[in-house]
Amino acid sequence: MDTKIHLVGKNTVLAKNIIFMRAEANYSEIFLLNGQKIVISKTLKQLETKFSTLNFFRPHKSYLINLSHVQGFKPNENNKISLTNDFEVVLSRRKKNSFMEVYLKIK
């Protein structure tokens, strides 16, 4: 997954370096492996379309995660997904079945 993604301006990142993206109204925050956070003026829906073929999954309306950075799943703790940067994302009830199919393949 060494695909380079052009975000905005001169910002180009490797898809494998993106841990997750979080929606903030009409903006999105992109969290990278090196701890950097990039804010862009695109909705998560626009980004989901762009990243859909690159091993990303939308577990909740506010998040888009890189499945390569999933470290665990906690079904007993409000369906939380643990990521490599110690951040936890909540999995919506409607997305649980589709996430479990994907999660069992990557585990």
Structural domain boundaries, residue 81: 4-106
pLDDT tens, residue by residue, 9-67: 777 889 999 999 999 988 999 999 999 999 999 999 999 998 888 999 999 999 999 99
Whether the full predicted model's pTM is greater than 0.85, yes or no, is yes
Q: What is the pLDDT of residue 85?
A: 84
* Residue 6 reports pLDDT greater than 80: no
CA separation for the pair 79, 91 (Å, rounded)? 5
CA separation for the pair 43, 2 (Å, rounded)? 23
* Residue 103 reports pLDDT greater than 90: no
pLDDT tens, residue by residue, 47-61: 999 888 899 999 999
DSSP H or E run through 101: helix 96-106
CATH classification at residue 77: 2.40.50.1020
Mean pLDDT for the stretch of residues 77-87:
90
CA separation for the pair 99, 9 (Å, rounded)? 33
Contact indicator for 61, 92 with CB cutoff of 8 Å: yes
Q: What is the pLDDT of residue 27?
A: 94
Q: Report the domain count for the chain.
A: 1
> Which amino acid is residue 81, in one-letter code?
I
| Predicted confidence band of residue 76 (pLDDT cuts 50, 70, 90) | confident
